[in-house]
């Protein structure tokens, strides 16, 4: 849920990158951080457990400037994808305004993608939200892998409702900013309707 800061009057919107472990959520945030003007971004916080796995969440505030007369900042989060981190994912989802579901295109990761999408839906329901009501884009990451799962198979398994889709190679930045731009537009559009 977007909030107006009581002192600055700034609108804060929360976007969460969700997906299975090692699908590229943190890599997305790192690329966004590297590409943005330092004046438009805050500090990237990425606590890990050592082998580069997200421990609790990653966080990156991004200043979007003035939108409809209000200074707007998007707070970008990732969730840990590991199964034992379910409670952390639930906490990070609280107050979410938009989602980027990062799916792994490796053929052996389809079950993990489905499990993560189901976990997302369950966790949203626990917070009183429906996945169909939240702005969301789907990013099919790791499209550079030899033998990557065909898009039509990913669509059939992960996108029955026809959400906006982006093919990505997060490590090189392909599709990363496009995914972010699309979700920020969806969030702003949803706020205008509210």
Contact 103, 114 (CB under 8 A): no
> What pLDDT is recorded for position 108?
97
Indicate the class that CATH gives domain 3-193.
alpha beta
Of the candidates 76, 27, 41, 68, which has an alpha carbon nearest to the alpha carbon of residue 180?
Answer: 76
**pLDDT at residue 109 tops 80:** yes
**How buried is residue 10: exposed, middle or buried, by Cβ count under 10 Å (0-12/13-18/19+)?**
middle
Residue 119's SS3 state is helix
The residue extents of the domains of the chain are 3-193
Tell me the CA distances in angstroms from 138 to 55, 65, 103, 164, one per residue in order: 23, 25, 7, 6
Question: Considering the chain, what is the average pLDDT of its residues?
Answer: 89
Of the candidates 110, 58, 61, which has an alpha carbon nearest to the alpha carbon of residue 85?
Answer: 58
Residue percentage of the chain with pLDDT more than 70: 89
Tell me the CA distances in angstroms from 151 to 23, 141, 145, 167, 169, one per residue in order: 16, 11, 13, 9, 14
Give dist(CA 194, CA 171) in Å, integer: 36
Q: Which two tokens stand for residue 120?
A: 């997302």
Neighbours of 122 (CB within 10 A): 13
Give dist(CA 106, CA 144) in Å, integer: 10
Give dist(CA 41, CA 34) in Å, integer: 10
Confidence of residue 54 (pLDDT cuts 50, 70, 90): very low
Of the candidates 56, 102, 95, which has an alpha carbon nearest to the alpha carbon of residue 75?
Answer: 95
> What pLDDT is recorded for position 20?
96
The arithmetic mean of pLDDT across residues 49-62, rounded, is 61
> What pLDDT is recorded for position 61?
80
Cβ-Cβ contacts under 8 Å for 65 (sequence gap 6 or more): 40, 71, 72
Taking the whole predicted model, whether its pTM rises above 0.75 is answered as: yes
Asked which of 42-46, 95-99, 170-174 is least confident by mean pLDDT, the reply is: 42-46
Which of the given ranges, 34-43, 79-88, 150-159, has the highest pLDDT on average?
A: 150-159
Region of 95 on the Ramachandran plot (φ > 0 left; ψ -120 to 50 alpha; else beta): left
**pLDDT at residue 55 tops 70:** no
Residue percentage of the chain with pLDDT more than 90: 64
- Residue-wise pLDDT tens digits, 114-127: 999 999 999 999 99
- Residue-wise pLDDT tens digits, 9-32: 688 999 999 999 999 999 999 999
Confidence of residue 57 (pLDDT cuts 50, 70, 90): low
**pLDDT at residue 111 tops 50:** yes
Residue 107's SS3 state is helix
């Amino acid at each position: 849920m977007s909030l107006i800061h009581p002192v600055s009057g700034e609108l804060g919107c929360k976007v969460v990158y969700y997906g299975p472990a090692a699908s590229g959520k943190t890599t997305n945030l790192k690329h966004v951080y590297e590409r943005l003007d330092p004046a438009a971004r805050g500090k990237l916080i990425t606590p890990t457990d050592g082998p580069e796995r997200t421990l609790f969440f990653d966080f990156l505030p991004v200043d979007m400037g003035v939108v409809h007369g209000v200074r707007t900042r998007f707070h970008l989060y990732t969730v840990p994808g590991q199964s034992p981190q379910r409670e952390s994912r639930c906490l990070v989802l609280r107050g979410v305004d938009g989602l980027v579901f990062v799916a792994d295109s490796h053929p052996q990761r389809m079950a993990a993608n489905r499990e993560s999408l189901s976990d997302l839906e369950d966790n949203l329901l626990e917070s009183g939200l429906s996945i169909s009501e939240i702005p969301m884009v789907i990013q099919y990451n790791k499209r550079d892998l030899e033998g990557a799962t065909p898009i039509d198979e990913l669509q059939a398994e992960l996108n029955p409702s026809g959400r906006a889709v982006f093919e990505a190679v997060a490590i090189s930045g392909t599709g990363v900013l496009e995914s972010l731009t699309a979700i920020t537009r969806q969030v702003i559009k949803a706020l205008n309707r509210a």
